[in-house]
Every structure is written in structure tokens, then in C-alpha cells.
Structure 1
Amino acid sequence: MDDGIDRRRGAGVALWRQIQQVLEREIADGAVKPGERLPTEFELAERFQVNRHTVRRALAEMEEKGLLRVEQGRGTFVHEHVIDYAVGKRTRFASNLMKVGREAGHEFVRAEAGEADGSVAEALSLRRGAPVIVLETVGMADARRISFSTQYLPADRFPGFDIAFRETQSITQSLARYGVADYTRRWTRVVARMPTAAEADILHQPRNRPVLVTEALDVDHDGRPVNLGVTRFASDWVQLVIE
């Protein structure tokens, strides 16, 4: 069997390392392309005539190097290039992705009426308990989930905003329907942390891979808060560029 593996005792290189080298060479040569799913552990074990633990060690090393990514319930994929996502005075999801040659999309998760807790009320200049509209969406790049966002908007100022968003699939276009022709970013906070089980499931990523979390306040031309957004980015897919 000519699979590039030397199985002789004392060959000097562990089997898992040889498998890693073969797979990395195939990726470098373009035999396996970015975004392509690898065969399962069982299939690779059959190919190389080794046990699954040996294959798992090779794949784990490649994931650690950033060559592979694991999506829960979907498999192991060759990693694509990370997206540079600009965070600045005018941060727009669709525009950011267009600039880097990616197609933007959204998946609507839920919309509900809520009450502003202390931090939301303070950010939006509302009284505690004031009505807010809560939107949750998944941001897509080339049909791949890269972010999970929760938006809080003053319900009294934007009644029915969830309906407008369902129709436009755009915060910017929806705000324009309420006379907010433009808005800018007042501040952005960024932290990195491990995802919750729900966040990992939504983003199709393992729980041992961190998410980048932005909390950001947008204001209209008069400086009135219009939207408080909390977005969790899959760090395997996105790196934030502060402008």
C-alpha cells in the first residue's frame, strides 16, 4: 500500500505524525481545498490502516495549527482564510463582508418584546423596565455562520421594528423606515470568552474555541441611542480590525 506511511518498527516518526504530514501535504497541493470536508475518522483509519485514536491525534494537531476546523454535527473541514471585520464609526455587516469579497446574509432567530434591565436602560437612555424590542439574528458569510447577535431597540420609538426587519433583513434599512437615515457608533467594547452551549450550537463550533464578543451602541445624528447590539463572532472565522 503506497499511502506515504512507513509502518516499519523504528521508522523514527510516529504514525500519527506521518498521517498529519500526508494530510497537510494534500492540503498544500490543493488535493483537498479550503472549505472541503475531510473524510470521517473511521474512513481515514481505514485508508491508513490504523486505529481511530491515531487519526484523532493527527487531526487534533492540525486543528491546533489552524489548518482544520470542527463543526459540531457536521464534521471536520479545511479552514478557509479568516475574515477581517472592521469595527469603526460606521460599522455595517453587509458592507464589511462586501469589502472582503464575501456574500452577506442573515438568519432570523427570534423577536420579542422585553424590558430594559440596568445595563440596557443605561446604554439606551431609558428608565429601567422600559419596553424594548429584542432581535436575535445569525450573520452569514457565503452561507457560513460567523456571528450571533442580540439587538435592543427602544420599543416606543420603533414600534413594529421586528416586522420591518423581517422584510428588509437589514438594521440600516429598517431604521431608515423610521426616519433614521444614518447612525454612527458611539462606543464598542470587545472581550474574548468561551461560548455557552447555546452559542456554540448556533455558530456550529466546539465549546473549547473562543468567541469574540462586541457590545456596541449606535446613535442617530442627534446623538440619541437607537440600538444596543451584542454580537458573538466565531473566532475561527473572524478577526476584528479596530479602525
Structure 2
Amino acid sequence: MQQKSQIARYQQISRVLVDQIVAGLYPSGSRLPSEQALSLQFEVNRHTVREALRELKNEGSIYSVRGKGHFVTANKIIYPLSDKVRFTQNILEANLCPGAKLLHVTTQEASVEIGTKLKLKADEAVLRLEILRTVNNVPFSVASSYLPAARFQGLDQLISGSFSLYALLKKHFQVEPLRQESLIETCLPDSREMQLLQVSARHPLLVIRSTACDKNLCPVEYVVTRTRGDLGCLAIHFNHPGSQPECQER
């Protein structure tokens, strides 16, 4: 008597889809068929298809874009972490399309942590910007950026559409931030981050806490950035004074 497969139907479907992705039927960055189309293809209900797609998302094989469907995860975006703070330029140099949307802006008193990072007094105000950044219209990271309110008065009025924060700082305030310190850790997303970045509860985020200064080493920004771990990869370059590009035999 033939035994029934011990593998759940949705797991069977997810394995078939993985095999098809590996075989090149669905290339990197391409969109998978709709849930309805997959339901017809595998002769199952949409709930089973959703379970299969959820498993692939949890594995990092695919990601979803609200209103557009499910896509095969492309090669990770290599994001250089150096003293220059320039998200827009980095993404453009990778031949991709950067985007930034201001989600929220407030003026508030500096907390002890933020005041210490920006060298502000306890009662001084900071401008807090929450920015969602995208790559090719796919959510990539969300950042909480804190700047001295007194120094950057009117900054919030200059922001419109898709923008580069550091281009605005350079143009209107003659400030070019240079990163002085970055602390990197990982965490799982909370419910809001899941919604903004369109990830599941099991997708880890890269959390980068950075302090940037002006040319006089005066702190101008403290920013906490949460980046999708399934799409982004940090590259840290070490430049040593006097180092040579190639080793020479003696």
C-alpha cells in the first residue's frame, strides 16, 4: 500500500517554486504569477498558495510589494558604509533608482541619548525626520534622523517629493555631513516596520546607529536606520594612510 506524502501541500508547492527559480524560469527580480494563477496551476485553493508564498518570503527567496505581487529576490544591494553619507549617490552608482519619502517630522526635546550624541543641552530641541527610502520603488530602509533644530531651522519646509536629505543640507545650510561612528546590530521588525518595509516578522533588519559631523567635527546628525536584511548588504572599506594599492615584491 502506497503511503501518502508526509510533506504538507503548501511545502510541496514552495519546493517546486524554488526549483523553478533555480532553473531560471523566474529570473532574479522577476514577478511570480498571481495567487489566482498559482492556485489554478497547482489545483489548490488560494490559502494553500499563500502559505507556500509565506514560506518562500520567510526563507528570503521572494519578497512582496503591496499592490504589485511577489518578486524573486534579486542580488543583494551592496551598500558602502564609509565616512561619506550619500544614500542617493550610492544607489545611483549601482544603476538603480533611489527614492525617499518623508513619513513624519516633529520638533522635540532631545533625549539623554540623542543630546549626548549631538552634544546638546537637555532642554535643546531636535528636528526628528522619519524617512522611508526605496530602491526601484521597493521599500529598502526606514530611518529616524535627529538634527539640531536651531541650526537647521526651516529644513522641514524644504522637503518635497523624492529628495536627498544631504543634498538639502549642502545646498541650503552649506553642511556636508561626514560619518564619525556607526554601530551595527540586527533585530526583528516590529509591526510598524513590517508594514513600512513590507517584510514578515521573521525577516531580520540591519540596524545602523550613526553619528555624523560637519568639517569642524561638530555633530549635525544622529540617525537610526533599519534596513531590510534580505535586500541589503553593508560593505565597509578600510583606508589606511600610506597604504599601496598592490603589494610589491622585494
**Scaled by the length of structure 1, what TM-score is found?**
0.83
| 1:104 equivalent in structure 2 | 98
Measured against aligned partners, the alpha-carbon deviations of 1:110-156 in whole angstroms (never above 9, x if no partner) come to 22211111111111110113111111111111111101111111111
Partner of 1:114: 108
Instruction: Measure the CA separation in 1 of the matches of 2:117 and 2:74.
Output: 36
Residue 189 (structure 2) aligned to one of 192, 195, 201: 195
- Would you say the 8 A contact 1:15–1:54 is kept in 2? no
Which position in structure 2 is the counterpart of 1:38? Answer: 32
Q: Partner of 1:179 in structure 2?
A: 174
Percent of aligned pairs sharing the same letter: 29
Deviation (angstroms), 1:106 = 0.8
Where in structure 2 are the equivalents of 1:80-229 lying within 5 Å? 80-166=74-160, 169-176=163-170, 177-180=172-175, 182-229=176-223
Cα distance, 1:164–1:47 mapped onto 2, change above 3 Å: same
* TM-score, with structure 2 as normaliser: 0.81
Say if 1:38 and 1:210 are closer, same or farther in 2 by CA, change over 3 A.
same
1:237 and 2:231 matched: yes
Residues 209 and 66 (structure 1), Cα distance of their counterparts in 2 relative to 1, 3 Å cut? closer
Aligned-residue offset at 1:228: 0.9
Q: CA deviation at 1:22?
A: 3.5
Task: Tell me how far 1:92 sits from its aligned partner.
Answer: 1.1
How far did residue 211 of structure 1 move? 1.2
Q: 1:196 to 1:61 in 2, by over 3 A?
A: closer
Instruction: Note the residue ranges of structure 2 that are not aligned, 5 or more in a row.
Output: 238-250
Residues 183-240 of structure 1 deviation map (CA, whole Å, 9 limit, x = unaligned): 3111011111111211111111112212111111110111001111111111111122
Q: Which amino acid aligns with 1:187?
A: E
Change (3 A) 1:88 1:145: same
Equivalent-residue separation in structure 2 for 1:238 and 1:201 (angstroms): 18
Give the conservation status (yes or no) of the 8 Å contact 2:101–2:161. Answer: no
- How many angstroms apart in 2 are the aligned matches of 1:64 and 1:168? 30
User: Any unmatched runs of 5+ in structure 1?
Assistant: 1-8
Letter in 2 for 1:234: R
